[in-house]
Amino acid sequence: MATPTTNIAAHEVAHDLAPEDLATVSRQTSIYVYEAPVRMWHWINAAAIVVLCITGYFIGSPLPSMQIGEATDQFVFGYIRFAHFAAGWILTIGFLGRIYWAFVGNHHARQLFYVPVWKLEFWREVIFEIRWYLFIAKAPKKYVGHNPLAQLAMFFFITLGVSFMIVTGMALYAEGAQQGSLTDTLFGWVHGLTWNSQRLHTLHHLGMWWIVIFMIVHIYVAIREDIMSRQSIVSTMISGHRTFKDDRED
């Protein structure tokens, strides 16, 4: 797939190939967009977020009390909190790694971290995408990376959303880690903004729902685009290759 071939010998062609498909098969129709570290981060991040949402919900609203043994033999809530903190650290370190990759990776790896607000063309395409989702535009455009509307959503929900959750989450973690700990030194200042940590808990909790809303939209749109757009979406998250479904320009 990576190397373009113009002639395909008969023995290389699968037996189910109809003659009219030959033209399509013999053309390179994919671009390598998402490098391995980006893909790995995506799935690690997704798994961490799922764990964080579930455990985080139960930290706010604990499960019914369980009587497995004496309190010393039982660590149910402790494990839920441990899973939350472990996933939080994985998310944080993963996010730092992702920022690093934005510097050393290809230009698609940088798309997550900025919105080209200064480009008129960007906003024109945002409006076009909104028209596409409102069923006004007849056909979608082709995009190698994220489309402008997706870029905007990714930036606000993931880049800003996850940053917010990391900063508030680490500040809350610092309360248990105690004064003078690394997290307290780095993130304790957040408590200086909210004072009563109950407020910070509430903000962190609302942040979870911000991410949940993103998940709903993200998964829906990824599947919908995979079916209705002119390029691959879901398989791209796994292979990194964007394939296109037609030869028309734009």
Partner 1 sequence: MSQIETFYEVMRRQGITRRSFMKYCSLTASALGLGPAFVPKIAHAMETKPRTPVIWVNGLECTCCSESFIRGAHPLAKDVVLSMISLDYSHVLMAAAGHAAEAALEEAIEKYKGNYILAVEGNPPLNEDGMFCIVGGKPFVEQLRHVAAGAKAIISWGACASYGCVQAASPNPTRATPVHKVITDKPIIKVPGCPPIAEVMTGVITYMLTFDRLPELDRQGRPAMFYGQRIHDKCYRRPHFDAGQFVEAWDDDNARKGYCLYKMGCKGPTTYNACSTVGWNEGTSFPIQSGHGCIGCSEDGFWDQGGFYNRLTNIKQFGVEANADQVGMAAAGVVGGAVAVHAAVSALKRAQKKTQDKVEG
The single residue among 2, 18, 23, 71 that binds partner 1, judged by CB under 8 A, is 71
Nearer to partner 1, 41 or 132 (CB): 132
Nearer to partner 1, 181 or 239 (CB): 181
The reply on whether position 9 binds partner 1 by CB under 8 A is no
How many Å apart are CA 177 and CA 49, to the nearest integer? Answer: 22
DSSP label at 74? -
Nearer to partner 1, 62 or 116 (CB): 62
The single residue among 62, 96, 131, 245 that binds partner 1, judged by CB under 8 A, is 62
DSSP lists the bridge partners of residue 241 as 32
Q: Which residue stretches of the chain are H helix?
A: 22-25, 36-60, 76-104, 120-133, 148-153, 161-177, 182-187, 191-194, 197-228, 234-239
Nearer to partner 1, 6 or 196 (CB): 196
Query: Residue 204 burial (CB < 10 Å; 0-12/13-18/19+)?
Result: buried
The reply on whether position 76 binds partner 1 by CB under 8 A is yes
The reply on whether position 179 binds partner 1 by CB under 8 A is yes
Provide CB contacts within 8 A for 81, sequence distance 6+: 55, 59
Contact 126, 156 (CB under 8 A): no
Using DSSP, state whether 6 is helix, strand or coil.
coil
The reply on whether position 24 binds partner 1 by CB under 8 A is no
The single residue among 2, 10, 15, 78 that binds partner 1, judged by CB under 8 A, is 78
The single residue among 135, 136, 247, 248 that binds partner 1, judged by CB under 8 A, is 135
**Residues 220 to 239 in contact with partner 1, rule: CB under 8 A:** 220, 224, 227-228
The single residue among 27, 28, 189, 245 that binds partner 1, judged by CB under 8 A, is 189
The reply on whether position 75 binds partner 1 by CB under 8 A is yes
Query: Residue 169 burial (CB < 10 Å; 0-12/13-18/19+)?
Result: buried
The reply on whether position 3 binds partner 1 by CB under 8 A is no
Contact 59, 84 (CB under 8 A): yes
Q: How far is the CB of 241 from partner 1 (least distance, A)?
A: 25
Contact 214, 153 (CB under 8 A): yes
Which residues are near partner 1 by CB under 8 A? 57, 60-67, 71-72, 74-78, 80-81, 133, 135, 175-176, 178-179, 188-189, 191-192, 195-199, 201-202, 205-206, 208-209, 212-213, 216-217, 220, 224, 227-228
